Amino acid sequence: MNELVRNRAIGASSASASHRAASEMVLSTMALSETKRMARAHSAAVHSLAIDNIEHRYLLSTGADISIQLYDLNNFEQTATCSRQVAPTSQIAANTASTHTRLVSGIDWYPLDNGMFTTSSFDHTLRVWDAESMTEACQFDLESRVFSHCMSYTGGHALIAATDESAHIRLCDLRTGSFAQSLLAHHSGSMAAAWSPEQPFVLASGGIDGTLKLWDIRRADSQLCSFGHSGDSEASPSDSSSTAIGGSVSSVLFTGDGGRVISMGSSGKVSVWSIASPDNPLVECQLSVSKGSNALSGSTQMALTTATTRQATDYEMLFCPSGSNVIATIDIANGKQVASLNSHFAPVLCVAWRPEHLELYSSGADGNVLIWCPPVAEELSEEQRQIRQDTWSGSDGDDVEEPT
């Protein structure tokens, strides 16, 4: 770090280069937080996490035990180890009459107001909830298992894109409570989708057939392109495009500038694609996936650090499940895996980035929600240090339940 400061002071490096180098140095040192931890609230696998877009203060979690937990990340209790423990401030219990009846596959905040959030489930429904009263406001019946859903953060419309087992991606309109549109997207079903952060009506979707497509929902011929395929956009999914993706698409993200799409395939291949040149990926990273592992065969959740500006020199790090207990950290500029985060007792399924706080939240099949951050200097007494060591070497993973 001293060298970075010195180079910048003598003009040996530009401001943007120094900013990128400093960001890379800090983010590559991410480790399990020793000063803050989450109370265990789930009895089974957690499949989705969401941090609100307004204050970046409230975290939602849900999964196989069908409960929904709401945390206030600024509300914590001091423990004997001097760590701050965050417990749920409210919840929708599994035995509540209005809750989902099967695995909850996705959860998301309403982008413009943290008084509302949405969930999707294998019980065929997508539901809208009041965050204040934790009660259901309305629901959509998609008549098939829903793998994921997403809303546009631009505020340009109130459509929810839902992916499920059918060949269609359904667009649910919050304003009318009905289906606004249906895209014939992936013949084998779709696992993931994401709205562009710059163009409200542009959507990327990933299919079980291994195809990654881009849509403009305003057009009669909505499909703009199929990534990794230079020929006819209606070509069979058995062509080279599915090989380019790396199996079925388990997760999709846009970069902050809206010009690139990041995909992760069930084989562990992570690819960064340019919207302007969709035939071949800009960079790729092949994660090491254990033989026989099916952790990436379903919908998973990646997270991207938020760039401070829209310059190409900004450092954006991708955190993604790797099909094991490890979270891979990838520099999307070159596809290099710069670090691995390993403290879960079972495969990681979802991660969420907390902007401006340099905190990453993760969870998965062990039901634990963990916090990752750059190391923090802290003075502890010998007694406190021993208590903390005993706490972290305890049996949190003894009661791990397999995902359903």
Band (pLDDT 50/70/90 cuts) for residue 285 is very high
Q: How far is residue 245 CA from its own chain's centroid?
A: 18
pLDDT of residue 140: 97
Q: How far is residue 268 CA from its own chain's centroid?
A: 15
Greater confidence (369 vs 307) lies with: 369
Highest mean pLDDT among 21-30, 65-74, 221-230, 323-332: 65-74
Band (pLDDT 50/70/90 cuts) for residue 355 is confident
Q: What contacts 89, CB < 8 A, 6 or more positions away?
A: 70, 71, 72, 75
Band (pLDDT 50/70/90 cuts) for residue 400 is very low
Domain limits, the chain: 33-392
Q: Is the pLDDT at 259 greater than 60, yes or no? A: yes
Q: What contacts 60, CB < 8 A, 6 or more positions away?
A: 48, 49, 50, 51, 68, 69, 70, 71, 107, 109, 117
Tokens of 85: 């423990």
Band (pLDDT 50/70/90 cuts) for residue 316 is confident
Band (pLDDT 50/70/90 cuts) for residue 246 is confident
> What is the mean predicted confidence (pLDDT) over 143-162?
94
> What is the mean predicted confidence (pLDDT) over 81-105?
90
> What is the mean predicted confidence (pLDDT) over 393-397?
49
Per the DSSP assignment, residues forming a β-bridge with 370 are 362
CATH says 33-392 is which class?
mainly beta
pLDDT of residue 237: 45
Give the gyration radius of the chain's Cα atoms.
21
pLDDT of residue 392: 52
Amino acid letter at 48? Answer: S
Q: What is the DSSP string of 98-151?
A: TS-SS-EEEEEE-TT-TTEEEEEETTSEEEEEETTTTEEEEEEE-SS-EEEEEE
Q: How far apart are CA 202 and CA 194, in angstroms?
A: 9
pLDDT in tens, 102-112: 999 999 999 99
> What is the mean predicted confidence (pLDDT) over 220-227?
93
Q: Is the pLDDT at 248 greater than 70, yes or no? A: yes
pLDDT in tens, 165-208: 999 999 999 999 999 999 999 989 999 999 999 999 999 999 99
Beta strand extents in 240-367 (DSSP E only): 249-254, 260-265, 269-274, 283-286, 303-304, 317-321, 326-331, 336-342, 348-354, 359-364
pLDDT of residue 81: 65
pLDDT of residue 26: 76
pLDDT of residue 13: 58
Band (pLDDT 50/70/90 cuts) for residue 247 is confident
Strand order in the sheet with 104-109: 104-109, 116-121, 125-130, 135-141
Q: What contacts 313, CB < 8 A, 6 or more positions away?
A: 16, 17, 19, 20
pLDDT in tens, 7-55: 545 555 556 555 566 667 778 889 999 889 999 999 999 999 999 999 9
Poorest-pLDDT segment among 56-65, 112-121, 293-302: 293-302
pLDDT of residue 204: 97
pLDDT of residue 201: 96
Q: How many CA atoms lie within 13 A of 302 on its CB side?
A: 35
pLDDT of residue 312: 43
> What is the mean predicted confidence (pLDDT) over 66-73?
97
Tokens 């520099």 correspond to 331
Q: Is the pLDDT at 313 greater than 50, yes or no? A: no
SS3 content of the chain, % helix, strand, coil (to 5): 10, 40, 50
Poorest-pLDDT segment among 330-334, 362-366, 383-387: 383-387
Give φ, ψ of 22 to 5 degrees: -65, -40
pLDDT of residue 43: 96
Band (pLDDT 50/70/90 cuts) for residue 241 is low
